[in-house]
Structure formats: structure tokens, C-alpha cells
Homo-oligomer: A and B are copies of this chain.
Amino acid sequence: MPDRNLFETSVDSLAGDDHRMRAWLAMVGCFTSVERSLRRRFNQAFRSSLPRYDVLTALAQFPDGLTMGQLASKLMVSKGNITGVVRRLQQNNYVRQSTSAEDRRVQLVTLTPGGRQLWDRMHEEYRSVIGEVLADLSDEDSLALSGKLSQAQEKIDEFLQRNDASQ
């Protein structure tokens, strides 16, 4: 039996009525377990980190390219977090930066054909890990979990919108 992780044991110390914190810690626990499996497999298969896959995924969705600011915003991180990742991907010729045809002051990051191939392989691996790790979850359970999470996402988005507007 593996040791329970921090996010599982933290739940024990919560007051019985702290339902939101309990839901959040349950989410952190699941997320952390699955992410660790992904991270391990990506390290074994590609010697690659997950932020690298995330950057490639965003660029695969937007073949016309994204500015560094747009890329950071899609990934919900700061530009500083992805500068190094993008630079290394560029050195390895998986992405390139070029001037926007519409506005010469704007630099766009796009996937190269090699970057697209790498992403295809990574994406297959990603789906395969998720399929394995969540294999014991039935279709019905997966659907119910998605439903509850989408509901939470809506409420979170409403909060973020109010909060961003008030700043």
C-alpha cells in the first residue's frame, strides 16, 4: 500500500463542514497523482517535461501562431514561466518565431512540421497514460465527475470574472 500523500492526510484535519476545502483537497490529490504518472512517462518516453507538452498543445490548437502573451494566457501562467521552454523548443527547431503579416511589431510563435510531429507523438502518449490511470473509472463515473467539475468550473469562472473586474 503506497503512503497516503499530503493532500489525502490534510483532509483528515478539516472541520466536518468545510466542504469547499475538502472538495479542493480531493481535487489536488487526484490531480497530483495523475500528473505524477504523466510526468514520469513523459520523462521516460521523451525526456520531456509537461510544460513543454502544454506549450506544443497550445500551438497545435492555433496553427496561425500565438504571441508569447497569448500563449501564457492560454496556459494560465506568466510569460516568465514559458520563456525558457519556448527558447529551448526553438533551439531544437520544434517552434519558430516570426513577424505577423498583419502587424510587423508583433512576433508570433508557431509549430514547425517537426514540432507538430513531436506533439502528435506526445499527445498519443498523454491519452494513453490517462486511459491507463483512469481505466478503473467507468464511463458513468467519468461522466458524472466531468459534470461536477464543469459545474465547479462555471462557478470558478464567475468568481474570476468578478475578481478581475474589481482589480
Q: Hey, which bits of chain A sit against chain B, CB under 8 A?
A: 1-3, 5-6, 8-10, 13, 17-24, 26-34, 36-37, 54, 57-58, 61, 73-77, 127, 130-137, 139, 141-146, 148-153, 155-161, 163-164
Cβ contact of A36, chosen from B58, B76, B146, B149, cutoff 8 A: B76
Residues from chain B with Cβ under 8 Å of A21 in the complex: 127, 130-131
Given the complex of chains A and B, what is the CA–CA distance between A73 and B32 in angstroms? 12
Q: Is the interface of A mostly helix, strand, loop or mixed?
A: helix
8 contacting pairs across A/B (C-beta < 8 A):
A3-B73, A6-B75, A20-B142, A23-B142, A23-B146, A23-B149, A30-B149, A33-B156
Partner of A152, one of B13, B18, B134, B164: B134
